[in-house]
Structure 1
Amino acid sequence: MVVLSAEQVRAWDNYTMEHSPISSIDLMERAAAACVDWLEEKGLVEQQQFYIFCGKGNNGGDGLAMARMLEAKGRPVDVFIPEFGHLGTQDFQLNLQRLHQTNVPIHFIQPGNPLPDLPSGIIIIDALLGTGLNRPLEGFLLELVEHINESKNAVISIDMPSGLFSDGTTLPAKAIRSAYTLSFQCYKPALLLAENAPFFGVVSILNIGLLPQFISGITPVHEVIDHEMATSITRPRPLFAHKGNFGHALLLAGSLGKVGAAVMAAEACLRSGAGLLTCGIPMVGMNILQTSVPEAMAIPIGEDIISESPDDLDRFRAIGCGPGIGTDPATAAALAIVLKNFKQPMVWDADALNLLAQQPQWWEELPPLSILTPHPKEFERLAGNCSNELDRLEKARRLAMEKKVIVVLKGHRTFVAMPGGRTYFNLSGNASMAKGGSGDVLTGILTGLMARDYVPDQAAVLGVYLHGLAGELASADHGMESVLARDIIAYIGPAFVALA
């Protein structure tokens, strides 16, 4: 699924109307019907009453059509229209005429007059602005939005919460705080940004039948990694394969007090299908690792920290490094040797990234198409401070292009930036994964997929989706609060099954 700007979505609407027998008013009818169908599917049509707030644009026209449809189902509906002295769009006016032929009460809200009472228990439908906003809310509209937010009633926004900019960050401006957002046909960038989450709530993308041929002629802002994309990448294991067919991976991980990071990355690597795994760890972790993950081989490369580089790096198909290694100068010296002697793409995480930030000359040695998996703070050490989330994503894209690496910026909607400029938001995963060790598991998964000869861009896309899907499956059984990183590992297998 693509992620489009507001302008691109409007162009998609126009393309559909030009190339199929549907008018703009009928497309509006289709959108309103999709929203009412969603309300029915969620059992919300049986609620006692709806208050629908409609601006005078096409988003407001959607709201008027919804009011007519809900009234036809026998539901009490009131419509509220802020009055600014202009008529509104043509389709808004036509839907207003249609609504006048029903028994739906229509209230025009005048600036300076008291705002409507919002009794508890009603559902508020926000159809004020949609994707049409081009400046922060102010004046009467801001007052109305704050009034709705203060009511504590459940709000469902149509296409976009009013006040939210479709194509980027909104903070510090105000917007409707929605419980649900029903957006049409595809995600808009704002609906994937964590800092906007208090405004958009739970997002549902409703198909309103826009012609798919339009997509082939445009460049999307981003794409999303969904089940369909991950399934298309997944490869079955050949029936007559042996362990050598699935590669030999090396993990450089762990230090005194952080051997658990090595254990989790190692098991995740093997659960991801690597044929062989060697772990380069300090001597302090040898017994722990070989007891916890007996399927992995281990070589000691230091006492309490990694202070040496393994020999004969050419025998490894993929290397992952960073979980729990610390930033001691001796560890940095060992990584510098690895960089000098291994020229295939690697997976770098955690303290390996912190060392890279301290050693900028390493960028020249880092193999192209290596996968870097920073969380936001690690990323800012690499790329500098970011003013907001959109700035961080743009810097990730630029870093990927300039350094010819793949940046996997971890978060609720993990962002993947490719060297060629393509970018993706991952749709799998949930808040159960916000625990220490989850990133170590991702490093293991990515390293295992690279060892299996998935090309780096496919390994990154499949790896982040598989990681999130395993977290979802784990939380379904253990509950959101109680999932541990070890549980994510245990559900990598079921996640592969779900993608088969």
Structure 2
Amino acid sequence: MARPVVSAAVIRELDRRAIQDLGIPGLRLMEAAGSACAEAARESLPCDRPGRVVVVCGKGNNGGDGFVAARKLAELGCRVELFLLGEAGSLKGDAALNRDRWLEGGRPIREVRQISDLSASSLLQADVVIDAIFGTGLNHTVAGLEADVIRAVNSAGRPAISADLPSGVSADTGAILGEAVRARVTVTFGHLKPGLLLYPGAAYAGAVRVCDIGLPPLPEAGEARRIWLMDEADLAAAIRPRPAEAHKGMFGHVIALAGSEFMPGAAALCCQAAMRAGAGLCTLIASEEVLRRALVGPVPFTGAPLSDFETLREQCRGKQALVVGPGLGRGNDAAERVRRAAREIEIPAVFDADGLNLLAGRLELLHEARAPRILTPHPGEAARLLSCSSQDIQADRLAAARTLAIRAQAVTVLKGARTIVADTGGEAFICPAGNPGMATGGTGDVLAGIIGGLLAQGHPALEAARLGVYVHALAGDRAKLRWGERGLLAGDLLETMTEVLRDIERRG
């Protein structure tokens, strides 16, 4: 099943409910969190001698988790040094209580008021460093002494275990707030957070473990159940077995408005991907020149010449899905066809590449559509649609995908590392698969074709987008294993995606 991914605000509310509404002592939650960190650290310690552990604590509850972890490891016989950013007397609440428990054992706290107070030799000699500086509550840029300490932890090069989040990573966006700890393992409490899955934060999190510390269940509705991590098993049920008496008419007909003089290959990739995804038929609608160049060899799709928009409308009649944009170009004729297709074509449609660029400033056309629409932008295209910069999109990819889906009233696939699928109500799904080798021309055309092929087979828009994104990403991962990241081609995914679909169907 898809796993929930929750924001810092949701976690704060769960904490509040646990303590105030259900009467669960905060001390018990902290004990469970710190114990989980200690267990993760213990697994990295040597077996032939007492382990050396450095615990670096902040002044909040994350630091309290660190005090618990330090105490647990000391009780196991480890040589533990505990460093605290600031004065021990400044701790409050449960963190202060766990400070006192640490001190009751006659163990010292080494206060760090300047960077020289953090022993470089201790860090270098440690088998493990536990990072308990900042958690989900971090809301400022890490600078000054805090940044110096994080840099020192990273420079030591010792395995770091982060409590809840790598210190310096935004829980909600994955942004690096100045400096961040590069963890080998992150032990996160209760539920996954977006910042552990979205880059650049995901690159700092290392292996992520979700630890149940006794928080109450998530509410059945609301923001707590709006973000999900895609799961292969969840999608396997969506792939339906084919009946023995099947014929091509049962699996839908895709129309592709794609290709231009200098990009006929994009159209061919899109159409082949639609067929590989299982569509019964696919017809490329393009100029005669594009058709001559795309319909080369024993291709599995057909072609029809395009003269005007009415030709497209007629070709779409009785068909099941339309893909608009791969390699299309941005000429005046293309602009008219794309904009009218967005509003007037009465079958489900995918808009990609120039099919998106030509809708910039005209998202209201999608509001008039009488059938579902799916947008598949990369960050630059999303920026044009939302009238902002690609840097704005990348700074908060989750918010960008959800905002575009709501404004356009179209399922949105924000491509990139950890592709996000968002629906028109703001629900979002993060894809955990994919690799940098897929950052090459044509892979987006393949994705658009896959989604179009799934739409044609009757999958609802959100399901087609989620399944298409996951199949595309897994196909890329399989292609990486076969050919490596460097030099991976979009066409390689056409070979591996059928293997992926076969394996998912078997598991289902």
- Specify the TM-score bucket, using the shorter chain as the normaliser: 0.7 to 0.9
Counterpart-to-counterpart distance in 1, 2:432 and 2:183 = 20
1:487 corresponds to which of 486, 492, 497: 492
5 Å-filtered alignment, 1:347-358, equals 347-357=350-360
Q: What residue number does 1:301 align with?
A: 306
Q: 317-326 or 270-279, which moves further after superposition?
A: 270-279
Kept in 2, the 8 Å contact 1:281–1:306? The answer is: no
Counterpart-to-counterpart distance in 1, 2:309 and 2:158 = 56
Pair 44,316 (structure 1): closer, same or farther in 2 beyond 3 Å: farther
Cα deviation for residue 370 of structure 1 reads 0.2
Q: Given the alignment of the two structures, is residue 428 of structure 1 paired with residue 433 of structure 2, yes or no?
A: yes
Deviation digits for residues 139-168 of structure 1 (CA, Å, limit 9, x no counterpart): 433432343344454433211122333234
2:238 corresponds to which of 220, 230, 233: 233
Cα deviation for residue 128 of structure 1 reads 1.1
Cα deviation for residue 309 of structure 1 reads 3.3
Counterpart-to-counterpart distance in 1, 2:264 and 2:400 = 32
Q: What residue number does 2:275 align with?
A: 270
Deviation digits for residues 333-390 of structure 1 (CA, Å, limit 9, x no counterpart): 4435545652122000001111222766744654553001010111111111146335
1:385 corresponds to which of 363, 375, 388: 388
Deviation digits for residues 245-269 of structure 1 (CA, Å, limit 9, x no counterpart): 2111111222233222122212211
Cα deviation for residue 392 of structure 1 reads 5.6
Q: What residue number does 1:163 align with?
A: 168
Task: Return the letter of the residue paired with 1:166.
Answer: A
Q: Given the alignment of the two structures, is residue 55 of structure 1 paired with residue 39 of structure 2, yes or no?
A: no
Pair 45,6 (structure 1): closer, same or farther in 2 beyond 3 Å: farther
Q: 307-316 or 98-107, which moves further after superposition?
A: 98-107
Kept in 2, the 8 Å contact 1:307–1:333? The answer is: no
Deviation digits for residues 411-459 of structure 1 (CA, Å, limit 9, x no counterpart): 1121222112222222222223222211111101100110011111111
The TM-score with structure 2 as length reference comes to 0.85
5 Å-filtered alignment, 1:343-492, equals 343-357=346-360, 362-363=365-366, 366-386=369-389, 388=392, 389-390=394-395, 393-492=398-497
Cα deviation for residue 17 of structure 1 reads 6.2
2:36 corresponds to which of 34, 37, 53: 34
Pair 74,276 (structure 1): closer, same or farther in 2 beyond 3 Å: farther
Deviation digits for residues 23-43 of structure 1 (CA, Å, limit 9, x no counterpart): 4444334333433444566x5
Pair 344,145 (structure 1): closer, same or farther in 2 beyond 3 Å: same
Q: What residue number does 1:145 align with?
A: 150
The TM-score with structure 1 as length reference comes to 0.86
Task: Return the letter of the residue paired with 1:231.
Answer: A
Counterpart-to-counterpart distance in 2, 1:391 and 1:86 = 37
Q: What residue number does 2:199 align with?
A: 194
Q: What residue number does 1:206 align with?
A: 210
Cα deviation for residue 293 of structure 1 reads 5.6
Task: Return the letter of the residue paired with 1:249.
Answer: V
Q: Given the alignment of the two structures, is residue 127 of structure 1 paired with residue 164 of structure 2, yes or no?
A: no
Task: Return the letter of the residue paired with 2:220.
Answer: S
Pair 431,340 (structure 1): closer, same or farther in 2 beyond 3 Å: closer
Q: What residue number does 2:259 align with?
A: 254
Task: Return the letter of the residue paired with 1:213.
Answer: P
Deviation digits for residues 1-23 of structure 1 (CA, Å, limit 9, x no counterpart): 22222232133245456898964
Pair 292,456 (structure 1): closer, same or farther in 2 beyond 3 Å: farther
2:179 corresponds to which of 174, 181, 195: 174
> What is the alpha-carbon root mean square deviation over aligned residues?
3.4
Kept in 2, the 8 Å contact 1:271–1:489? The answer is: yes
SS in 1 for 2:220: helix
Counterpart-to-counterpart distance in 1, 2:303 and 2:477 = 31
Deviation digits for residues 460-481 of structure 1 (CA, Å, limit 9, x no counterpart): 1222122212222222333333
Kept in 1, the 8 Å contact 2:325–2:355? The answer is: yes
Q: 107-116 or 340-349, which moves further after superposition?
A: 107-116
2:325 corresponds to which of 305, 322, 325: 322
Alignment length (residue pairs): 496
Counterpart-to-counterpart distance in 2, 1:104 and 1:262 = 69
Counterpart-to-counterpart distance in 2, 1:489 and 1:441 = 8
Q: Given the alignment of the two structures, is residue 80 of structure 1 paired with residue 80 of structure 2, yes or no?
A: no
